[in-house]
Amino acid sequence: MLEKKLGKRRFYKLTEFECINLLKVGEEAFKNTYPKSRDGFAVALMTVSGNVYTGVSYRSDTATLTMHSEATALVHAAIHGEKNVVAITGPNCHICKQLIYESSLRSGIDVVVIIREGGKIKQIPISKMMPYPWPEKLNE
């Protein structure tokens, strides 16, 4: 991974190998969706230290309390003391885009979303997915 700066934005461009590995690790985690295996969603993220954490959807019968895989992946990293996320696999729902965007605001790192599209791997900064972001800055 290579740190890049574009204006005020700081982000990391992953190597093709890192992208493929992250997608593979996310796909492997799919067996761990809760409560039923392979029923829901799974992702993987990479932190600035190069560590990879997975997340799986955790379904509640209330539906409202269901946790998305992106949320559990961010928590998984936070539990290990890692708050500086550089990349996460996608595509992601809009609730999760908001969560990823807020993580970006806090860390100052524009998290790249890794997706496969038409046989190609793309790295899309979360800022590009949030054209009219809320909040514009954090109230901390």
Q: Which residues bind Zn ion (CB under 5 A)?
A: 68, 93, 95-96
Q: Cβ 57 to Zn ion, closest distance in Å?
A: 8
Strand partners for 113: 88, 124
Please say which residue, 4 or 128, places its beta carbon nearer to Zn ion: 128
Which token pair is 117? Answer: 């599209």
DSSP string, 40-100: S-EEEEEETTS-EEEEE-B--TTSTTPBPHHHHHHHHHHHTT---EEEEES---HHHHHHH
DSSP string, 118-133: TTEEEEEEGGGG-SS-
Please say which residue, 62 or 139, places its beta carbon nearer to Zn ion: 62
Please say which residue, 98 or 107, places its beta carbon nearer to Zn ion: 98
Q: Cβ 43 to Zn ion, closest distance in Å?
A: 9
Q: Cβ 120 to Zn ion, closest distance in Å?
A: 23
Q: Cβ 92 to Zn ion, closest distance in Å?
A: 6
Calculate the alpha carbon distances from 89 to 41, 138, 139, 140 in Å.
11, 24, 28, 28
Which token pair is 42? Answer: 């799974």
Please say which residue, 1 or 78, places its beta carbon nearer to Zn ion: 78
